Amino acid sequence: MSRALFTSGPLDASLALPAVDMATSIGAFETPAPVFTASGCAAAGKELDQFFDITAIGGIVTKSVMLNARSGRATPRMAETPSGMLNSIGLQGPGIDAFIEHDLAWLRQRGARTVVSIAGGSVEEYGKLASKLRSVEGISAIEVNISCPNVEDRGQVFACDPNAASNVIQAVRRNADTRTPIIAKLSPDVTDIVTIAQAVERAGADALAVINTTLGMVVDLETMRPALGGITGGLSGPAIRPIAVRCVWQIHQALPNLPILGMGGIRNGEDALQFILAGASAVSVGTVTFHDPSAPLRVQQELETALARRGFTTLRDAIGYAHRGPDLPEIDEDHE
Amino acid sequence: MAPLQLTGQVLDVRRAGLYTVLSLTAPGLAERTRPGHFLNIGIGGEESALLLRRSFAIYQVQSRGVYGGSVDIVVGVHGKGTQWLVDRRRHDTLSIVGPLGRPFTLPKEPANCILVGGGYGTAPLFMLADQLRERGCRVDVIAGAATEEKLFGTLEIKRAASTLTVTTDDGSMGVHGRVTDVLDDVITRSNADVVYACGPMGMLAAVAEVAAARGVYSQCSVEESMACGVGVCMTCVLPVIGDDGVTRMVRSCVEGPVFRGDRVRWSDVGTVPADTLGAPTGGH
Ligand SMILES: Cc1cc2nc3c(=O)[nH]c(=O)nc-3n(C[C@H](O)[C@H](O)[C@H](O)COP(=O)(O)OP(=O)(O)OC[C@H]3O[C@@H](n4cnc5c(N)ncnc54)[C@H](O)[C@@H]3O)c2cc1C
Ligand SMILES: Cc1cc2nc3c(=O)[nH]c(=O)nc-3n(C[C@H](O)[C@H](O)[C@H](O)COP(=O)(O)O)c2cc1C
Ligand code: FES
């Protein structure tokens, strides 16, 4: 591990900082850059490519796709909340075949690293989705959104039950190309997120995405009814960042070798650094993209600066750095 | 052309009835803007707790001048975000993304056009009226609102129009009633080919219905709550019938805000009609 030089005062902006090696890996997926979009916050990359070069970031995580076309829920689908928002989109999408034909084809031709997010209503549907993606080229990893109701179990959310979560990951692992890393995306709405993390790891997950939105609700005071068409919705944005950092920390502590794609309210490079220090190998920027459509690339550049300012020469050295014992690191007194 | 993301400076803030007109520097925006485009403005600065941008129709653009281009928007106070905006002062900076959306389509041949604006919905109609007249179109304007003070720009738009008809719900100005109470007459009088409309959803639904009944083509600019405004989040959808006759939940920020009036399923807005592509089939 390289020696971290801690500087306290603000650095002169004109001072050229040394470049940081930003390469990282999510299981077998090696990427030169650590910042990704978040599923459902970037569609399939095309729109954001108007604002920044999507090949310059870690990659695009596409909107969770299901087997068949889905209309999604009725509007209103969102409500702004302090430093965040609630959404109840209902996984609107074209279905896997149209997605492969149009969206994935575009991403491949554009040369963007692509993580495909899949979602299903049954274990079987997840398996089918994975086998559909088997022969498709240009997929860096599959992210499995298990925050979906299981239609075969009274709508219980897969992510909230270790057995249901494992069954989904097993089905995906069995049907996907063995070379494609599987990322299980966890929900924070559980009593003990580590139990779920351990279960999906045993089921064959190569990495985790942490966290999905947390369930919330807003009552509209004009109509005096729930503000969202779907009544409840997923809370995201800076409001949930401390919850997300806590989840990453707990999982990394229990499973230090399992790579984590961290997310939840990342707004700038220093927010991203918190996730890396807590144990994430890479991060996704979601809701903040609605505020700043070039946020993923900006956050990546700011993360590099934030690392350099703390004396890191490689991103890998910073992963989980907040977990080190009290005797570490060696602080160079000259720079204090 | 791709939208811009830029920081604009407030040049001027002026009151117009209930509304506030903000002029902002926006180099490069004018060249990209067509009537019906909108822009998104960040609220409260970098660390704001109001995370989502607010959307505003582009009212006017200037491509040159001391500021290398500027844009005007008309703001009606609705909640916290619009209140913050109208409290801006000269030299304050604002984050702007635009122009966004699909603008109005202009007729290739000179045509008789009626422009209907509800409240601040007249804002995007000024640029539209000018461009239609440049193409040799006849322009008749109908402006309506609940009360006189909720009308915007009726004096100025008169200059670009062959006729202007004003309606107010309370009769405080013009005809006592709604825009659709006079639309039928104006269609007859102007021998209209096209109706363009911007305003509240209820008004658009009624305008589209009258236009359809008269066999007149209509284009309506809708207002749906938007989280991103750039097509990535799927919050701003409404049921729209496609060229293939199939209803889909369509994003109003990129496939709209301007839609053909006869394609929007107005009475189903806020729901997912059962025959929509991918609609829930029961079970869950
Ligand atoms: C394409 C388009 C063009 C528009 N043009 C204009 C214009 O020219 N002048 C003008 O005054 N207003 C316009 N609006 C409406 C304006 O965007 C809303 O009044 C504003 O977003 C309300 O924000 P707020 O913080 O004051 O209200 P709040 O109610 O506090 O807003 C909370 C959230 O709901 C959203 N929201 C609330 N009301 C609306 C609404 N009516 N439409 C869309 N989103 C809403 C906000 O964006 C925000 O995310 C337009 C809206 C759209 C979609
Ligand atoms: C509008 C919206 C849609 C989302 N859709 C999905 C989705 O389809 N699949 C998924 O796994 N997560 C989805 N998410 C969750 C995000 O990917 C992310 O996990 C969460 O929002 C936390 O990160 P953030 O605070 O940076 O947005 C969605 C979030 C938002 C705001
Ligand atoms: S507002 Fe996000 S897709 Fe339209």
Which stretches within B142-239 are classed as H helix?
A: 154-158, 179-190, 201-213
Active site residue A41: no
Residue with CA nearest ligand 2 atom 2: A40
N-terminal to C-terminal alpha carbon distance within chain B = 41
Phi-psi region of A260 (alpha: psi -120 to 50; beta: other; left: phi over 0): beta
In this predicted structure, what is the pLDDT of residue A14?
47
> Does B88 score more than 80 pLDDT?
yes
Helix axes B179-190, B201-213, angle to 10 degrees: 40
The radius of gyration of chain B's CA atoms, rounded to the nearest angstrom, is 19
* A148-157, B52-61, B145-154: least confidently modelled range: A148-157
Query: What are the tens digits of pLDDT across the range A292-313?
Result: 999 999 999 999 999 999 999 9
In this predicted structure, what is the pLDDT of residue A15?
63
In this predicted structure, what is the pLDDT of residue A327?
63
* A321-325, B83-87, B248-252: least confidently modelled range: A321-325
What is the Cα A145 distance to its own chain's centre?
10
In this predicted structure, what is the pLDDT of residue B73?
98
Q: Percentage of chain B surpassing pLDDT 70? A: 99
All structural domains of chain B, each given as residue ranges with its CATH number in brackets, are 4-100 (2.40.30.10), 104-221 (3.40.50.80), 225-284 (no CATH)
Q: Tell me which residue has tokens 């903000």.
A: B22
In whole angstroms, what is the distance from residue B197 CA to residue B199 CA?
7
In whole angstroms, what is the distance from residue B278 CA to residue B174 CA?
46
Token representation of residue A228: 């969202």
- The total of other beta-carbon atoms located within 10 Å of residue B80's CB is 14
Query: What are the tens digits of pLDDT across the range B90-108?
Result: 999 999 999 999 999 999 9
Residue with CA nearest ligand 1 atom 26: B79
In this predicted structure, what is the pLDDT of residue B66?
72
In whole angstroms, what is the distance from residue A272 CA to residue B272 CA?
38
Q: Counting runs of H as helices and runs of E as strands, what totals does chain A give? A: 10, 18
Q: Which residues face A314 on adjacent strands?
A: A21
Residues of chain B numbered 24-43 and touching chain A (CB < 8 Å): 42
Q: Which residues face B100 on adjacent strands?
A: B38
B227 ligand 3 Cβ < 6 A: yes
CATH of A24-335, one of 3.40.720.10, 1.20.950.20, 3.20.20.70, 3.40.50.1980: 3.20.20.70
pLDDT (mean) for B262-283: 90
- The total of other beta-carbon atoms located within 10 Å of residue A16's CB is 8
In whole angstroms, what is the distance from residue A198 CA to residue A162 CA?
9
Work out the minimum CA distance from B242 to partner chain A, whole angstroms. Answer: 14
In whole angstroms, what is the distance from residue A169 CA to residue A175 CA?
10
Q: Quick check: A47 and B232 CB within 8 A?
A: yes
Token representation of residue B221: 């600019």
> Does B196 score more than 90 pLDDT?
yes
- The DSSP secondary-structure symbol of A65 reads B
Q: Is the peptide bond before A260 cis (omega within 30 degrees of 0)?
A: no
- Sort out which chain A residues have CB atoms less than 8 A from B277's CB and list them: 69, 71
Phi, psi of A163 (to 5 degrees): -70, -45
Q: Do A51 and A79 contact (CB within 8 A), yes or no?
A: no
In this predicted structure, what is the pLDDT of residue A6?
45
What is the Cα A287 distance to its own chain's centre?
11
Token representation of residue B284: 């869950």
State the pairing for strand pair B237-241/B247-251.
antiparallel
A88 ligand 2 Cβ < 6 A: no
- Least CB–CB distance from B284: residue in A155, A237, A293: A155
For chain A, give every domain's residue range.
24-335
In this predicted structure, what is the pLDDT of residue B126?
97
Residues of chain A numbered 157-216 and touching chain B (CB < 8 Å): none
In this predicted structure, what is the pLDDT of residue A2?
43
Query: What are the tens digits of pLDDT across the range A258-273?
Result: 999 999 999 999 999 9
Q: Which of B51, B84, B255, B281 to mutate to test the interface with A (most CBs of A within 10 A)?
A: B51
B104 ligand 1 Cβ < 6 A: no
In whole angstroms, what is the distance from residue A285 CA to residue A300 CA?
10
- Sort out which chain B residues have CB atoms less than 8 A from A121's CB and list them: 284
- How many degrees, rounded to 5, is the angle at CA A28 between CA A24 and CA A31? 30
Q: Is the peptide bond before B99 cis (omega within 30 degrees of 0)?
A: yes
In whole angstroms, what is the distance from residue A274 CA to residue B60 CA?
44
Task: Report which residue type is found at A131.
Answer: S
In this predicted structure, what is the pLDDT of residue A332?
55
In this predicted structure, what is the pLDDT of residue B65?
76
Token representation of residue A237: 């944005």
Which of B220, B6, B192, B229 has the alpha carbon at shortest distance from B100? B229
Residue with CA nearest ligand 1 atom 38: B225
Is B215 part of the contact surface with chain A (CB cutoff 8 Å)? no
Q: Count of alpha carbons within 13 Å of A76, Cβ hemisphere only?
A: 22
Phi, psi of B83 (to 5 degrees): -65, -45
> What pTM was computed for the model?
0.94
> Does B187 score more than 50 pLDDT?
yes
A236 ligand 2 Cβ < 6 A: yes
Segments of chain A scoring below 50 in pLDDT: 1-10, 14, 335-336
In whole angstroms, what is the distance from residue B210 CA to residue B218 CA?
10
Work out the minimum CA distance from A325 to partner chain B, whole angstroms. Answer: 33
Which of B72, B58, B59 has the alpha carbon at shortest distance from B25? B72
Q: Quick check: B5 and A292 CB within 8 A?
A: yes
In this predicted structure, what is the pLDDT of residue A328?
54
Q: What is the mean pLDDT of chain B?
A: 95
Query: What are the tens digits of pLDDT across the range A189-229?
Result: 999 999 999 999 999 999 999 999 999 999 999 999 999 99
B231 ligand 3 Cβ < 6 A: yes
Which stretches within chain A are classed as H helix?
A: 96-98, 105-110, 123-134, 162-175, 193-202, 241-254, 269-278, 288-291, 295-309, 315-318
